[in-house]
Amino acid sequence: MTALFQQLPAVDKLIKMPQGEQLIAEFGHSAVVAMCREVLMQARQSIQKNHQLPEYLNGIDRTFATLRSRLTQQNTVQIKTVHNLTGTILHTNLGRAIWSQAAQQAALSAMQGNVALEYDLEEGRRGHRDHHISALLSRLTGAEAACVVNNNAAAVLLMLATFAQGKEVVISRGELIEIGGAFRIPDIMAQAGCHLVEVGTTNRTHLKDYRQAINENTALLMKVHSSNYQILGFTSSVSEQELVALGREMNVPVVTDLGSGALINLAQYGLPQEPTVQEKLAQGVDLISFSGDKLLGGVQAGIIVGKKQWIAQLQAHPLKRVLRCDKVTLAGLEATLRLYLNPEKLTENLPTLYLLTQSLDELQDKAQRLKVRLEKRLNAQFDIQIEEAQAQIGSGSQPMARLPSLAVTIAEKTNSKLTALAERFKTLSQPIIGRMENGKLWLDVRSVATIEMLLQVVDEL
């Protein structure tokens, strides 16, 4: 093996060669030297294990090609844009809502320069970063004020920590939810320093259960929208309206974690009914929290709306600074909310709503174009068809509801390898993510954002 080790080039030799100098000009001296050392270290390990030189050292051109490839990959952002063909529109693992063009432009403008984030242009003095969002949400929902943090879990934590630390929060046992990432309401309550008081049973909770649990240490009555599951059959629950009446009688505030955060009646588009923020405010709830990147169709954020006196206390809590949003998020959120000022144009301008409301004719056109392109690139190795499919909203919104859709399905022929094809899809410049079901790879076109870009990526096959 000594002879093999002696064939390894020195780092100084590599960086002084013309190819090495070119790499330094492109990537910088430190990065090139570090990569040379890493490649040579791996070569030594390979010699010890396999008793031969690795392939990338069989010729100087191959060595520099390897160095260039690794340096390029090192400089490439690894959070890749992917094509979502899973049939889940708001896919948590794929980034949930796609930003509108307006939100993208607002965020880009905020990135490129200074913004009046905490500066009141009219008064010429310090302002509040939530001011514009609060005014917009008041206009859209009728709430007195609003507060914005980095996600809805943070919003729930802030509400509990502000109003119930060291005190009791009464909640129905059937609403002690767990969502993705092992986020559990009881855990958030513990982190906020408050005491959970469960009432009722898993399937049935009555108003008297809340009444009997209230005492001098009760800080809040809490409702949590069970957006990611449903309990069916012999069930009973207490509405916000009933709970608000009890809260006022007993002088206990009512808060609601609404989760998905619909600001419009989705039924008008033929979609499943989802409770809106406006409805809960009209029922008298003191504070309502919801997400910015689910049915709202915008950026990841946690939004709290409600009475001004309560919002002011949230804004003054030390946790608010810890959980606050940056200028880019706030710019994107504001732009998204402004789209709701023109509701007739929402299906055109808000990607989430556009994807949810596509007609079957539109989906048929997309599916046919994708099928033709795949048939051309896969050279009849697979059986490719268009089939009816069932899409879903995702991110815990209407878990039992299904949306009619179409999918291009790929099945194996003799000696074909479907699993290998699915893996190949993931190695494309913009990976294609579908779902495996019933021995087929399903590419549901309802959830794909841009068909033109998808077809270009298919050509890489």
Residue 57: per-residue pLDDT: 85
**204 and 304 inside one domain:** yes
Three-state helix/strand/coil letters over 169-199: EEEEHHHCCEEHHHEEHHHHHHHCCCEEEEE
Q: Which of 311, 327, 346 is the last residue of a domain?
A: 346
Q: Averaging pLDDT over each range in 48-62, 206-220, 336-350, 404-418, which range is the top one?
A: 336-350
Residue type, 184: R
Calculated CA dihedral for residues 446, 404, 366, 346, nearest 10 degrees:
-60
Into how many domains does the chain fold?
3
Q: 172 phi and psi, to 5 degrees? A: -65, 140
Q: In this structure, are 389 and 337 located in the same domain?
A: no
Instruction: Examine the domain organization and report whether 163 and 308 are in the same domain.
Output: yes
The tokens describing 225, both together, are 């929208």
Q: Tokens at residue 264, please?
A: 């419009």
User: Is the domain of 358 the same as that of 342?
Assistant: no
pLDDT at residue 329, as a whole number: 96
Residue 273 to residues 6, 143, 339, 398, 450: CA-CA distances in angstroms?
72, 22, 21, 8, 27
Across 346-375, average pLDDT: 96
With a CB cutoff of 8 Å and minimum separation 6, the contacts of 58 are: none
Give the residue-averaged pLDDT of 268-284: 92
Reported pTM: 0.88
Q: What's the token pair of residue 64?
A: 């520099």
- What is the per-residue burial (b if ≥16 Cβ within 10 Å, else e) of 107-136? beebeeeebeeeeeeeeeeebebbebbbeb
Q: Do residues 152 and 302 lie in contact, with contact meaning Cβ atoms separated by under 8 Å?
A: yes
Contact predicate 231/197, CB 8 Å: no
Do both 52 and 144 map to the same domain?
A: no
Give the C-alpha distances (Å, rounded to integers) separating 374 from 23, 83, 87, 380.
Answer: 38, 15, 18, 9
pLDDT, tens digit (0-9, with 9 covering 90-100), for 405-436: 999 999 988 667 898 999 999 999 999 999 99
Q: Which of 114-118, 188-192, 327-331, 337-341 has the lowest mean pLDDT?
A: 188-192
Residues 359 and 396 in one domain: yes
pLDDT computed for residue 259 by the predictor: 85
What's the CATH number where 431 sits? 3.90.1150.110
Least confident of 178-182, 327-331, 417-421: 178-182
Q: What is the predicted pLDDT for the residue at 207?
A: 87
Domain boundary among 327, 346, 365: 346
Distance between CA 292 and CA 153 in Å, rounded? Answer: 12
Strand 287-291, strand 382-391: pairing? unpaired
CA distance 461 to 457: 8
9 and 27 in a single domain? The answer is yes
Are residue 21 and residue 122 in the same domain, yes or no? no
Task: For residue 391, report the phi and psi dihedrals to the nearest 5 degrees.
Answer: -90, 170
Q: Does position 1 have pLDDT exceeding 80, yes or no?
A: no
The three-point CA angle 154-156-161 to 5° equals 90
Domain housing 3: 1-75
CATH of the domain at 197: 3.40.640.10
Last residue of a domain, one of 314, 346, 378: 346
Say if residue 234 is exposed, middle or buried (CB neighbours under 10 Å; 0-12, 13-18, 19+): exposed
Same domain, 255 and 316: yes
pLDDT at 125: 87
User: Which range, 162-176, 261-275, 314-328, has the best average confidence (pLDDT)?
Assistant: 314-328
Same domain, 227 and 258: yes
Do 130 and 17 lie in one domain? The reply is no
Instruction: Please tell me whether residues 390 and 308 are part of one structural domain.
Output: no
